[in-house]
Amino acid sequence: MGVKNIGIVVGSLRKGSFNKAIGQYLKDQAPEGVTLEAVEIGNLSLYNQDYDESGEPAEYGPFREKIKAFDGIIFITPEYNRSVPGVLKNAIDVASRPYGHSAWDGKPALVISSSISNQSGFGANHHLRQSLAYLNMPTLAQPEVYIANVQNIFDEDGALKNEESGKFLKDVLAAYLDFANKHV
């Protein structure tokens, strides 16, 4: 059967986000028969465990069902204070609950981090991998994807301006799809 429907979860809400540009570029490179779909996370109320017992925000159910429907997930994140943005951690928490019913369970994952500096989101990448290990998401180990100086790869409109980086991202997508097909 293989993977056919991959979710893209971007940890940046910024309108001109370079991380969204990476996601769009990957969507445009999807091979025939594979769909990559961006998942909105900015509308999720902050997770509160009290919701597990007293009723949850209306957007939680549809979000969890959307995540469950994917064959795999690509996470693309900037680094905030050496970790993932709060909005991304919140989305992970929302779909992992209620306890024992995680929508993420078993879904093969790819982690891409980026930065406008030379540090390339290393801290965010590895913090995210810790959460994914706990959530039972097999995660592509190689190639690792840390994108430094992302503003030199995509312009303000999200268009690719560095062909070498474009080839790298195409190769990463191919490696991920091969990995994901082994884990579904």
Locate tokens 């943005």: which residue? 85
- The number of folded domains in the chain is 1
CATH for 17: 3.40.50.360
Cβ contacts of residue 142 below 8 Å, gap of 6+? Answer: 175
DSSP per-residue codes, 104-161: TTT--EEEEEE-SSTTTTHHHHHHHHHHHHHTT--B--SS-EEE-SGGGTB-TTS-B-
- Please provide the average confidence, as pLDDT, over all residues in the chain: 95
Alpha-carbon gap, residue 136 to 85, rounded angstroms = 21
* pLDDT for the residue 1: 59
pLDDT digit string, tens, across residues 33-81 = 999 999 999 999 999 999 988 899 999 999 999 999 999 999 999 999 9
Instruction: Please report, for residues 49, 81, 177, the alpha-carbon distance to residue 7 in angstroms, rounded to integers and kept in the order given.
Output: 25, 25, 12
Mean pLDDT of 77-103: 95
Segments forming the whole domain that contains residue 40: 5-182
Measured CA to CA, the distance from residue 122 to residue 126 in angstroms comes to 6
Residue 43: per-residue pLDDT? 97
